[in-house]
Amino acid sequence: MSYGDKVLDHYNNPRNVGSLDKDKPNVGTGVVGAPECGDVMKLQIEVDQQTGRIVDAKFKTFGCGSAIASSSLATEWIKGKTLDEAMEIRNTDIVRELSLPPVKIHCSVLAEDAIRAAIKDVKEKRERAGEAVTEDAGTRRRGDAEKEDGETTSRV
Amino acid sequence: MKLPIYFDNAATTRVDPRVFEKMAPFFTETFGNAASRNHVFGWTAEKAADDAREQLGAALGASGKEIVFTSGATESNNLAIKGAAEMYRDKGDHIITCVTEHKAVLDPCKHLEQLGYRVTFLPVDRTGSIDLDELKRSITDKTILISLMAANNEVGTIHPIERIGAIAHERGLLFHTDATQAFGKMPINVDAMNIDLLSASGHKVYGPKGIGLLYVRRKNPRVRLAAQMDGGGHERGMRSGTLNVPGIVGFAEAARICVAEMPVEAPRIQQLRDRLHQGIASQLTHVTLNGHPEHRLPGIVNLSFEFVEGEALMMGMKDIAVSSGSACTSASLEPSYVLRALGVGDELAHSSIRFSLGRFNTQEEVDYVTAQAVAAVKRLRELSPLYEMAQEGVDVSKVQWKA
């Protein structure tokens, strides 16, 4: 299979690779997929508490070139958006933008799932902070990778 | 050094120029039908095919009369398995093979299952080897055929053909081996190894595509097969169809060169393969070899690069042709069934790359591929959430993934 120019561009020059501090209250982390399936995406967003907009986004992906490109594109698109706006991104938008063939559609689905999982995570953090203002969310969650992944991982 | 580099010689090989030269006149000059008995065009074509037959027989320690030409190893496997099953239906209905065989063996066996035959698919261990005691135990009084490959196409593991053949003959069973990968790469003698049926292909040995053979033993025992292709009664009635004379001539020349050069070529290719393996393994952590560490074809090294997906890695190794056991390289989204059978685990199967080296590869190419592979793996690991977790001390295999 040959790759489209946009997939190649994102593969060769992935945007926003890296990690944000997952313990910060305004950072949401979404980890979706599974190694056995050949794809794992971690997508993180940092939300400005004042404006409610996504000010930064980072990803790391284990997967094929199309999976890397889908998550790279996702981080590019969600930056500057509000959480509600980011929720509106559909996998079909990613398919169209990257000209993904049918066999690679699951990569775009995973990217959409990763966005949603990250948003869900940051919203839940916010709710928990509202419920128990005195509790430090960061300390409570630290070192519990298994649980955290379980919480933020959604369907593939 | 010329780009792109071809390290996918287990898929197919470049035709050796010496082979091509031998074939050329048989397209435009000596173009007769080997079955034309009444004129010189037919006679010369038949003579060329018979000489080739002798040469190919000699490469196996067999007689030319025991060679049946086919379109390739897929057809040879079909003819051997279905032809023997049909012919010996009165003697029994049980066939033994193993889970890592090529689809061209597995699918004919599954087809026979649908017709009421029983098939035992032996498991393999972590190296891709079968347990000979288990083979013995699975033989019943209804067993007619054992079909086990000489060497595996994905990981290169070599089966102990000689011992399997001895077991088969001790119990009066036919032994078929798919030698598509092994033929021309390691010594094969059908008598010493007790082989009754053997499949081989031209294009894996620097010969042309579209030509293969099935060795069919003529004595001790005399093997009979039910034809799967009916027609003019060519090839002793076992495979009708006009002979592909240029292909046959090319296949024979290719086999002659392989046998003549094997003592020098096999160690040279193996040295290149090991240089590649060691070069990569010395510069990267979390690299595992799939297949048998020693009993392996000289040209094949199949490696899993943990935390990196195979297709992405192939994209990263620009201008280098290799294969991957990753699901993403196929439409099925299932990773390699061979690696699964070895117990490699789906995650590492997705991370696997098969490098297969051959006659035309050089040390310069090996060093280039080593550097490209190492750089691509390092870059992709920086992108990998799994690598990050492993660096943080998380055991990725223990994480509960919701997929």
Is the minimum CB–CB distance between B396 and chain A shorter than 8 Å? yes
Say which of A60, A66, A103 has its CB closest to residue B385: A60
Q: Is A43 helix (H, G, I), strand (E, B) or coil?
A: strand
Q: Which DSSP state fits B40? A: H
Cβ atoms within 10 Å of A139's Cβ, excluding its own:
9
Q: How confident is the model at residue B89 (pLDDT cuts 50, 70, 90)?
A: very high
Q: What is the pLDDT of residue A145?
A: 42
How far is B302 from chain A, CA to nearest CA, in Å?
A: 18
**Is the predicted pLDDT of residue B392 greater than 60, yes or no?**
yes
Q: How confident is the model at residue A111 (pLDDT cuts 50, 70, 90)?
A: very high
pTM of the model: 0.92
Q: For tokens 């196409």, what's the residue?
A: B153
Strand pairing partners for A29? A44
Task: Give pLDDT tens digits for B46-78.
Answer: 999 999 999 999 999 999 999 999 999 999 999
Q: How many helices (H) and strands (E) does chain B have?
A: 13, 13
Average pLDDT over chain B reads 96
Which of A7, A23, A36 should be substituted to probe chain B, the one whose Cβ sees the most B Cβ atoms within 10 Å? A36
Q: How confident is the model at residue B402 (pLDDT cuts 50, 70, 90)?
A: low
Q: How many residues does chain A have?
A: 156
Q: Is B378 helix (H, G, I), strand (E, B) or coil?
A: helix
Q: Percent of chain B at pLDDT above 70?
A: 98
CA–CA dist B125, B107 (Å, integer): 22
State residue B16 phi and psi, 5-degree precision: -65, 130
Task: Give pLDDT tens digits for B108-159.
Answer: 999 999 999 999 999 999 999 999 999 999 999 999 999 999 999 999 999 9
Inter-axis angle of helices A145-152 and A105-131, to 10 degrees? 110
Task: Give pLDDT tens digits for B204-225.
Answer: 999 999 999 999 999 999 999 9
C-alpha distances in Å from residue B346, one per residue of A32, B5, B316, B335, B350: 17, 28, 21, 7, 6
**Is the predicted pLDDT of residue B200 greater than 80, yes or no?**
yes
Q: What is the pLDDT of residue A57?
A: 98
Segment B354-373 mean pLDDT = 98
Q: What is the pLDDT of residue A137?
A: 44
ipTM of predicted complex: 0.87
Task: Give pLDDT tens digits for B299-358.
Answer: 999 999 999 999 999 999 999 999 988 765 555 667 899 999 999 999 999 999 999 999
Higher pLDDT, A3 or B282: B282
Segment A54-58 mean pLDDT = 97
Is the minimum CB–CB distance between B347 and chain A shorter than 8 Å? yes
Is the minimum CB–CB distance between B388 and chain A shorter than 8 Å? yes
**Is the predicted pLDDT of residue A94 greater than 80, yes or no?**
yes
Segment A122-133 mean pLDDT = 82
Interface of A with B (CB under 8 A): 1, 3, 8, 11, 14, 17, 19, 31, 33-42, 60-68, 103, 106, 145-146, 149-150, 153-156
Helix (H) or strand (E) holding A63: none
Structure tokens at A29: 């982390």
Q: What is the spatial order of strands in the sheet that B287-290 belongs to? A: B287-290, B300-305, B352-356, B323-324
Say which of B315, B335, B403 has its CB closest to residue A33: B403
